[in-house]
A and B are shown apart, each in its own frame.
Chain A
Amino acid sequence: MHNGNNMPQTQEILTILGQVCDPEIPVLSIIDLGIIRQVKISDNQIEIIITPTYSGCPAMDAISIDIKLKLIEHGYSQVKITSILSPAWTTDWITETGKRKLKAYGIAPPQYSGSPAKNVECPQCHSQHTKLLSQFGSTACKALYQCNDCKEPFDYFKCH
């Protein structure tokens, strides 16, 4: 992430943004998700540059509104949100903290896109003995898996 020239203020804004959650996976903040690409601070305005996760993700509009509201709450009234598409978001940008939170929430975190595919681990019993039920899960970002050992179906945040 590139930061503006005003480091302490940038840090403060990032801390505030850390309180904005993904409406569909409320344990993840938008910082955990890796969609904040840049914070630009000028005398009269703060510009937040974000990148969408999935094209059709209805959460993106909600996230933009939540960012504005949260910053207004902290006294920043002139906020501009700019969405950029390139470079395209990848699940590799989800932070390690984000991955831990996902697992604790019962969603198997994404594997690294470059590394060889391993078995998806069951977030309940940690078994590697799992199978894909459907490439598409309850939201665009998830695939549906089932554990062959504990039999629990679970969501896998698929590699993107």
Chain B
Amino acid sequence: MNPLIQFTLFLADSNLILSQKNAEWCGHGPILEQDIAITNITLDLLGQARYFYQYAAELMNQAGHTHITEDSLAYLRTEREFKNLLLCEQPNGDWAQTVLRQFFYSVYQQSLYQQILQQSNSQLSAIAEKSLKEITYHIKWSSEWVVRLGDGTPLSHHKMLQAIKALWPYTGEFFTPTDFEKEIIPIDYEKLKMQWIDSVQNVLEEAGLPMPQNIFMHTGGKLGSHTEHLGYILAEMQYLQRTYPNAQW
């Protein structure tokens, strides 16, 4: 498959899977305002995913596939075809783990999309431009939560430590480019990593949380090798279209 299509699907899938996980909080948030906040972020991620899927579908149909749509890409691909980051498919855990996952992802998204914005691919740049405005809010919200819990009670601090331990091993994948990433657009992964580490370190410091060092990092999500969690997510998300093909509202 053409590297540009793979890259576009990688961006789409990461957003879709994280939005699907976040959506589980709908109606279960700790208080009403925060329930609304996480579901608003979820909608943004889903909307951005739709732009990427629409673009990927267009590219695939041009390349000779037939009848590819944003829906068929989301609902009819198998686990091995999904290219989302492993971080995005990790369990919600408690609130600490959910807000930390969002924070890690949003900071990464911001740096990556800023680089995409500089590229000559006009559709990807346009989606990046639109998304960056929304990501600014996501970072503000999630970083405030990381500080609030990290610098809160002994219990909330402990929960944040647990969240870092659970999620940190999935962040290395951000900066390990696959072949399709290397082939399509010149992204400076060193710069991406430095910016990410810098932003995360600032917030963790403010929160009184330690920055993990030299931890083993999992990779593979971008190439379709997922943790055991993705299968369950897809089973639930794709159930309707798999059971009743072409069902419509």
Interfacial residues, chain A to chain B (CB-CB below 8 A) = 52, 54-58, 84-89, 133-140, 144, 160
Contact = CB atoms under 8 A, between A and B. Distances in A.
A21 to B, nearest CB: 21
Which secondary structure dominates chain B's binding surface?
A: helix
B125 interface: yes
B122 interface: yes
Contact of B36 (A55, A57, A85, A134): A134
A107 to B, nearest CB: 16
A138 B129 contact: no
B130 A86 contact: yes
B176 interface: no
B134 A86 contact: no
B37 A135 contact: yes
Chain B CB within 10 A, most for which of A86, A89, A136, A160: A136
Interface in B20-42: 33-34, 36-37, 40-42
23 contacts: A54-B44, A54-B47, A55-B44, A55-B50, A55-B51, A56-B43, A56-B45, A58-B43, A85-B51, A85-B127, A85-B129, A85-B130, A86-B122, A86-B126, A88-B129, A89-B130, A133-B33, A135-B37, A136-B40, A136-B41, A136-B141, A137-B36, A139-B40
B77 interface: no
A126 B31 CA distance: 28
Nearest to A60: B47
Interface residues of B, number: 28
A132 B134 CA distance: 18
Chain A CB within 10 A, most for which of B40, B41, B127: B40
B85 interface: no
Interface in B119-149: 122-123, 125-127, 129-131, 133-134, 137, 140-141
B33 A55 contact: no
Which secondary structure dominates chain A's binding surface?
A: loop
Interface string B194-223: 000000000000000000000000000000
A84 B40 CA distance: 22
B140 A135 contact: yes
Contacts of A133: 33
Q: Which 10 residue pairs spanning A and B have beta carbons closest together?
A: A55-B47, A56-B43, A56-B47, A86-B126, A134-B33, A136-B37, A85-B126, A136-B40, A88-B130, A56-B44
B48 A134 contact: no
A54 B126 contact: no
Contacts of B45: 56
